[in-house]
């Protein structure tokens, strides 16, 4: 067998060092030393030399020489039995949105989505509401296009967890802004036709009961203000308090929200708004995979002059977190400026969060 000079020199020094240790090293063969020198990793090669020279640490794992059968040198170590853990239950959409379960809670002062966040670059209405703007343009024959865009941004922040010293109570603050933009209407300089602002405070109480096969998950007590921030003839606003009940069954969520309008102290911009927007709404949300379908209903519950609205939304995956978004609306009050105007509209765009 031939060895190159560096290998023989290293082996000679190692053997000499081993002989000076007062018999601490065992009688190592040339094959064992050569097996160590063939190891490429520095740490493993040093451990091999320590073992062959008799300086291996008791807790070190022995390294087999080159060509040796592993099973003849190593004994299997006993493996402690690991307890089998149950997989955690998947959190429901309502639990994630309102942090109803302990596993869902993230603490206070973090931004979360509230209502859907979306952008509809294409939205068509069959009956644009020109009436409120007839006296606002320099030329009275100018009107609104049936094609426009819509943008909604909505978030909420948990202000306090465990209100009243009770784990089932949380305090939230929400804010939603919805803008309708005549982006393609160059005739009137492409203005924002309407923007609605909606701040609200919500006290969430976690519940757990069964009714008609549905599980009652929460009760929201809220107060909100909604206005379009305009003055004089275009001003629209109202204040409400509401109670919202949340139910779920598998992938289906149902939210029932009756409200009461707080009377205006000063001059009322829209005293008949309840005749069109009613006294509450019903929302149904169904999820299948990464698709979400929602239905929103409003009605004034009057036999004569019955008015209401219907809104259908569908979100579906596009790329990563980006989702496609389709919206259909039919009825009164798509925006505050249109509270007493009925129309149908259809929009297509994208969304980042679905909301509730």
Contact 169, 158 (CB under 8 A): no
Long-range Cβ pairs for the range 106-110 (8 Å, 24+): 106/158, 107/158, 107/161, 108/157, 108/158, 108/159, 108/160, 108/161, 109/157, 109/158, 109/159, 110/157, 110/158
42-53 and 5-19 helices, crossing angle to 10°: 40
42-53 and 30-37 helices, crossing angle to 10°: 160
Distance, CA of 272 to CA of 268 (rounded, Å): 9
The answer to whether residue 225 is catalytic is yes
The answer to whether residue 294 is catalytic is no
Contact 159, 172 (CB under 8 A): yes
Identified catalytic residue from 179, 225, 235, 279:
225
Q: Coil, helix or strand for 132? A: helix
User: Which of 277, 319, 314, 312 has its CA nearest to residue 298?
Assistant: 277
User: Which of 114, 152, 129 has its CA nearest to residue 349?
Assistant: 152
What value, to the nearest 5°, has the Cα angle with vertex 161 and ends 159 and 164?
Answer: 105
Identified catalytic residue from 146, 179, 227, 235:
227
User: Which of 343, 311, 336 has its CA nearest to residue 118?
Assistant: 311
Beta strands, E only, the chain = 111-113, 117-125, 147-161, 169-181, 192-211, 214-227, 237-249, 252-262, 280-288, 291-299, 308-319, 322-332, 342-353
Catalytically active residues are 225, 227
């Amino acid at each position: 067998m031939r060895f190159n000079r560096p290998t023989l020199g290293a082996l000679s020094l190692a053997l000499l060092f081993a002989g000076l240790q007062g018999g601490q090293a065992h009688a190592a063969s040339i094959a064992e030393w050569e097996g160590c020198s063939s190891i490429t990793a520095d740490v493993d090669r040093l451990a091999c030399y320590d073992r062959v020279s008799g300086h291996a640490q008791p807790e070190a794992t022995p390294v087999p020489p080159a060509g040796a059968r592993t099973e003849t040198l190593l004994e299997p170590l006993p493996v402690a039995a690991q307890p089998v853990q149950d997989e955690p239950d998947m959190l429901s959409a309502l639990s994630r949105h309102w942090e109803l379960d302990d596993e869902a809670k993230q603490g206070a002062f973090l931004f979360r989505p509230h209502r859907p966040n979306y952008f509809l670059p294409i939205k068509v209405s069959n009956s644009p509401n020109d009436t409120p703007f007839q006296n606002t343009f320099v030329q009275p024959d100018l009107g609104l296009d049936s094609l426009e865009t819509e943008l909604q941004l909505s978030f909420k922040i948990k202000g306090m967890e465990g209100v009243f010293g009770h784990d089932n109570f949380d305090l939230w603050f929400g804010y939603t802004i919805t803008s309708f933009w005549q982006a393609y209407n160059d005739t009137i300089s492409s203005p924002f036709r309407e923007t609605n602002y909606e701040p609200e405070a919500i006290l969430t109480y976690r519940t757990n009961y069964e009714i008609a096969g549905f599980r009652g998950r929460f009760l929201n007590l809220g107060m909100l203000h909604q206005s379009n921030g305009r003055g004089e003839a275009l001003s629209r606003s109202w204040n409400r308090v509401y109670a919202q009940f949340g139910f779920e069954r598998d992938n289906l969520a149902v939210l029932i929200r009756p409200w009461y309008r707080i009377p205006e102290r000063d001059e009322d911009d829209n005293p008949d708004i309840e005749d069109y927007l009613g006294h509450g709404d019903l929302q149904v949300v169904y999820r299948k995979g990464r698709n979400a379908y929602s239905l929103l209903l409003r009605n004034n519950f009057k036999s004569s002059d019955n008015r209401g609205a219907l809104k259908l939304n569908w979100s579906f995956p596009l790329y990563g977190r980006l989702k496609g978004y389709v919206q259909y609306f039919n009825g009164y009050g798509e925006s505050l400026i249109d509270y007493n105007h009925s129309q149908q509209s259809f929009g297509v765009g994208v969304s980042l969060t679905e909301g509730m």
